[in-house]
A and B are shown apart, each in its own frame.
Chain A
Amino acid sequence: MSSMTQNRLFREYKTLSENPPDGITAGPVSEDDMFHWEALIQGPEGTPYEGGVFAAELKFPKDYPLSPPTMKFVGGGVWHPNVYPNGTVCISILHPPGDDPNHYEHASERWSPIQSVEKILISVMSMLAEPNDESPANVEAAKMWRERRAEYEKKVREEVRKGLGL
């Protein structure tokens, strides 16, 4: 049953372990369930997220890689225009090609089987650096980012410290 999916996830796990991209750690919570991963992403430098480490869980559908996984920040979520208050990440690479509510995403940015966990995590890293204001998942955060940038950055920095237990 879905052994192709499991093989693919296992291969991705291996690649990510042997050649981890900078600032990214990811793998299954337990190899007994390859459909449930956990990832750590470092906050990009030169942004208020700098210095922080953010944990997220990835849940893969049974027909991965045909359908994309879902990704959700855990441990209080992340204050960001493109992250729902419950932590769920909303970016184009996590949307299947037929799924374009706003008509601004290029098909190439969206999910397809040639994408990978690594590409998702790298995209999320750049999302942290450059919020997409057009389709906010967290309206309050988007508003603050637009109108009160200093307050936004202060709030993010505080959350970064809190996340590290400081």
Chain B
Amino acid sequence: MPDEEPSLNIPSLLTLAVVSFFVIRWFFKRDGESGAPGSRSRPRGNVVDPAQVEQISQMFPQLSTRDIMWDLQRNGGNVAATTERILTGRGLDTPPPSFQPLVAIPPTGVPPQPAPVSKSDGQDLISRYNLAAKIVDTSEAESTAKPGGWSQNKEERQRLLQKRRDDMILAARRKMMQKEQGSAQ
């Protein structure tokens, strides 16, 4: 037997992507129709909605956002059409050098619309890396071990990286606290 594992096959993945895309689109469309009028005016004409660009570039990180903007701008902000185009392998055209993407910017003066909050939004580094427990006992452990390090062992490497990350954050925090105490006196 050759060693080709029966891995995920691409056509079925693509089908799944297309189907789920349309389901999501249908869902949002329905939402938009029943929602309060003027709750969030959709950009019209030649203005590109950054959310749409983000949406596509998350699906296809290899594509340049400029190409995506160009395609969206030409088809009037139709994410489905752009996605179709990419999935069918036609690819996106390269915009002419004169293309200046007009990105829809929320009007100033109005508080920015609550963006879809990602899991780590507004989170500080201490909670992000679970360092609360380490804040206390590192106050005197100022071990200036040589930074950097590499191991042949995968777990060990991961551990070294994590330690360097933790040390960097904790050291910065300590320094900031010292500085503030110094200036308070």
Residues of A within 8 A of B (CB): 14, 17-20, 25, 27, 30-31, 38, 40, 42, 51-53, 55, 59, 61-63, 67, 70, 74-76, 84-86, 96, 98-101, 103, 139-140, 160-166
Contacts and interface: CB of A to CB of B under 8 A. Distances in A.
B28 to A, nearest CB: 19
Contact of B172 (A52, A63, A70, A139): A52
B105 interface: yes
Given A40-B169, A51-B176, A96 B64 contact: yes
Majority secondary structure of chain A interface residues (helix, strand, loop or mixed): loop
Given A51-B179, A96-B64, A27 B161 contact: yes
Contacts of B154: 31
A98 B161 CA distance: 35
A53 B169 contact: yes
6 contacts: A17-B148, A40-B165, A67-B62, A99-B66, A100-B97, A101-B66
A61 B64 CA distance: 11
Given A17-B149, A18-B148, A18-B149, A165 B64 contact: no
B147 A42 contact: no
Given A75-B125, A99-B64, A101-B101, 8 more contacts: A14-B150, A19-B148, A38-B165, A51-B172, A51-B176, A70-B57, A74-B128, A164-B125
Interface in B96-127: 97, 99-101, 105, 108, 112, 115, 118, 120-127
A63 B120 contact: no
A30 B154 CA distance: 10
A4 to B, nearest CB: 15
Nearest to B131: A165
